[in-house]
A and B are shown apart, each in its own frame.
Chain A
Amino acid sequence: MNHLKTLLGFLKDRWLLLAAWLILFVLTVLVFWLIPHSPLDWGTVGYLFLMQCVLLVFFLAVSFLAKRRFWQKLTPRSGENLLQNYLQGARSVEEERIERYINQLISEHQELMQQVVGNQEEQKEYIDSWVHEIKVPLAASRLLLHAVEFDIPDDKFILLENELNRIDAYVEQVLYVSRLDSFSKDYLVQEVSIKSVIQPVLRNQANYFIQKNLHYKVVGDDQPILTDEKWLSFIFSQLVSNAVKYTPDNGQLTIQIDKDPQGTYLRLIDTGIGIPPEDLRRIFDKGFTGENGRKTDTHSTGLGLYLAKNLAKELGIELTAASTVGKGTTMTLFFPLLSYYEEIR
């Protein structure tokens, strides 16, 4: 089928040649026929035609085989990286031209790619070093703030501390975004206790809890899990900061730790404004802010949950959301139990 198609394509490209041949043949016959007392009869014409046909077919076959060889080089095979294999083995002038053109395309593309990758690498390094640089004045500001803690009015102190916390959180986010695709280079899976991860996160956001009078409680026994502590605490802090943001004053936050044969669950249940069902599917999409994010004074970037979801995936944690508008949202982190059975699979 495929060969037939190739053949038909080949003949189609040669239609001018075929037409010319036919015209020449007719012309030859005509000229001979016009000669007086011409010895031409149908038998001779048929014989001539047949002979020419055989020769034509032979010629076409040879040229088809040569063409097909080149065409095969131009046909992409599945799983082959077209931009890395230079063409070679052109025989005719036309083939050589095509070959030279394509090879130049490939080499220009490679050069460009190298440049782009290099730039990106440079940019990433710059961001990394920028984050480290900015942390020094940030650390100094924090120490300064602490030094004057009881010399300035309390409300100003807390406002300033909140602003510093926000700068800090944004800086962290930058770092995690730039590290997301080089994740494999920076993780350390260990046995950690869930509570030792969640407690510092809650403590870090203590100001918000106190200001909004959000009552939280931790339910369930502490469980050991196998994961990377730093990344998990970043994921959890994104969830907590969302819960705090979208829960009105005097609300309730429950952190629930459960365990069943499949694994360990860490649930964050808030009594916030909830997520509309049409938004729920998309809250983990990059840049999605939804109805809640568009409300004023929340400063939603649509990045937090996207990062949380992706990092969780990298760590083999399942992050899911359930919500009822007006009642609240439950975020669940599921840590599947690693069984030997699965490892063998």
Chain B
Amino acid sequence: MTSGSTQAHAPTPTIPGELKVIHDATCTFCGCVCDDIELTVKDNHIIEAKRACALGKSWFLNHSVEDRPSCTIDGNPASLEQGYDRAAQILTTGKYPICYGLSDSPCEAQRVAVSIVDWINGTIDTTTSVCHGPSGMAFQGVGEVTCSLGEVANRGDMILFWGSNPAESHPRHFTKYSLMPKGMFLPNGRKDRTCVIVDVRRTKSAKAADIFIQIKPKKDFEALWTLRALAKGIELDPDLVHRETGVEFSVWSDLMDRMKACKFGVIFFGMGLTMTRGKHVNSEALLALTRDMNAHTRFVAKPNRGHGNVTGADNVVSWRTGYPFGVNHARGYPRFNPGEYTTSDTLANREADCAMMIACDPMANFSQPAREHLATIPYIALDTKETPTTRSAAVAFAVATYGINTGGTVYRMDDVPIPLRPAFASPHPSDYDVLTAIELRVKKILGIT
């Protein structure tokens, strides 16, 4: 077993017809990374996932061993060896190779992906760039005052959600971390907390709120700046605030009074900030507000991360290259420039001439210009499921599912590393296996010993 292999956490064998129970399994559908799931396995199918939310249940119960070839080349079944050879050939003959995805791979595999990109002087990017990449830019500009989810559960008495709908994106967020837990300093759980939700529409999460504030679309920056002014005691024109934000000044003023009066405030934020007009500037405004609030009381912020190991990708790419996403190695050293080296741009601008897509589905989720260009270049795809991306790939690998078939390490949204506890084995190779094999061949082609 090689260092960094996910086989150190291989699942125990399943005996046909018998039930096997996995305790404290880790769900990797969303960034909550719940590691208290009890799985019941029968004949290599998960038939029950106790404590999992709707998204987690669907994740566990629908990831059985897929009856399809582990490798296809141009849509035709091929051996893994042939696939690895073709993949390495694609990556080493391109002038502008890109590698994207990684948010549903364990850290051990992500590390190999970074190595491959380094060898081929390529560009590595993760799904962060179309999720909280703007927040990552804001971290660099403003800084992040933050804490672990455990601290939120134990101390957070004022919980704000801004542009985030955890009821549908992170269904156990309220119960496991942010609203319901009886914490060390919050013995009455929900009753000791105030929940405020700010959004442009009354989402399903709004039912959980004590205060719901519906702001005008695309006016998050103005609303956050209003709060910053209130935090700093700057006088504002109430009519202007109302016109700009769609919310009466008195509502913001009342909210600020409550924020100042709390003992430990937390702002969770989501795509409502990063995906709309302003993008990273919206995130900067929120992070700056959080920082400002610490003049009055303890306040922290945390982005709600969407995928199980997107935070792991941030960590791995950061510690390997110095930057969290959108990193180009064309000059032999890492360079970071969102908008230039991020995948939405390298595809939409028709710069990438080959690609490797790992645990992602840009053919479903990217802009039309980006998708149209991706369809014209050779690319490799690794995924547990058949997707629009795998269907159009030059080389497609059906891989084992991390956390269900293979072990490894993932990072929860608060940067806490958590081990995976897999349930049953798969005949398909893991991401780690595939990427290690490709790296070997890439190095051989390039004459790297």
Decide whether A and B are members of one complex.
Answer: no
